[in-house]
Amino acid sequence: MNDPKAFATFREQRGHQYRTSTYIQWGDVSESRSLGSCLLLNPGSAALFQTRPAAGHAIMGQVKPDPTMEQLIRFTEAIYPERPLKGRLHVYNLFSLQNPSSSDAIACFEQLVEKKETTLEAQLASVEELRQHPWLLLGWGCLQRRSWRHFSALKSLWKKQIALSGVPVFGKKCSNGQDYYHPCPRLVSMRAAILRDLVAIRGQTLGKMPSSPV
């Protein structure tokens, strides 16, 4: 058996829960090679059920995969058909505030930036870290409001950071031409279709990838 497992790091600050890092592991935990990465909106509902110490006030451990993680597992296994699969899929988010409601999460993030409890720059992964991945799937969703000025600025910063890294990117663009559909729609009936679309877009954008990551 080679069932993938999900791991994440959490911290709490001023009554808010943050999930600051997340990855899905195939094979032994020592298999740290990157299978790829994705950039979504913000952490959802996954919660710890096994913990281990982490730096500072953070808690790290295994989480029960939420629907988004399960969809990402299906996507990764679709593009890497050889078994056993070994390595990690890294899950990034535009911001790390955990909230299963996208609009509520963005509104709260706007307030946190306004109150100077966080910054846009603090949300970014480093260029060096991004360069460790063979590809990056963009999928933060299509939500837009004029009042979300910090959110809009954050997306621009992430795009610049990704461009500096040079990592190949792909995703299914929204009708506005600037954002990307989330890989796991709320409607369960739509998930198989977008999975097929993303696999096809990945192939069209990056060409045929090896069946095993290099």
Query: Can you spell out the DSSP letters for 86-133?
Result: -EEEEEEESS-B--S-HHHHHHHHHHHHHTTSS-SGGGPPPHHHHTTS
Q: What confidence tens digit (pLDDT) does each residue in 71-92 have?
A: 999 999 999 988 999 999 999 9
**Is pLDDT at 158 greater than 60 in this prediction?**
yes
Report, as an integer, the average pLDDT of 90-112. 94
| % of the chain at pLDDT higher than 70 | 90
Predicted TM-score (pTM) of the model is 0.92
Classify residue 27 by burial, with Cβ atoms within 10 Å: 0-12, 13-18, 19+. middle
Question: Which tops the pLDDT comparison, 81 or 168?
Answer: 168
CB of 94 closer than 8 Å to CB of 44: no
| % of the chain at pLDDT higher than 90 | 78
CB of 4 closer than 8 Å to CB of 25: yes
How many beta carbons lie within 10 A of that of residue 174, not counting itself? 16
The mean predicted confidence, pLDDT, of the chain is 91
Least confident of 16-20, 85-89, 155-159: 16-20
Between CA 159 and CA 132 the distance in angstroms is: 17
Report, as an integer, the average pLDDT of 129-146. 97
DSSP assignment of 147-209 equals T-HHHHHHHHHHHHHHHHHT--EE--B-TTSSSB--SS-SSGGGHHHHHHHHHHHHHHHH-PP
Per-residue pLDDT, 44: 79
CB of 120 closer than 8 Å to CB of 113: yes
If pLDDT is split at 50, 70 and 90, which confidence band does 214 have?
A: very low
**Is pLDDT at 62 greater than 60 in this prediction?**
yes
How is residue 36 annotated by DSSP?
E
Q: How far is CA 6 from the centre of its chain?
A: 12
Distance between first and last Cα of the chain: 22
Least confident of 7-21, 47-61, 88-102, 124-138: 47-61
Which two three-digit tokens encode residue 44? Answer: 């959802």
Residue (of 164, 165, 157) closest to 90 by Cα position: 165
Between CA 86 and CA 84 the distance in angstroms is: 6
How is residue 45 annotated by DSSP?
S
Which two three-digit tokens encode residue 113? Answer: 């930036």
Per-residue pLDDT, 46: 65
Which two three-digit tokens encode residue 164? Answer: 């500096």
**Is pLDDT at 48 greater than 90 in this prediction?**
no
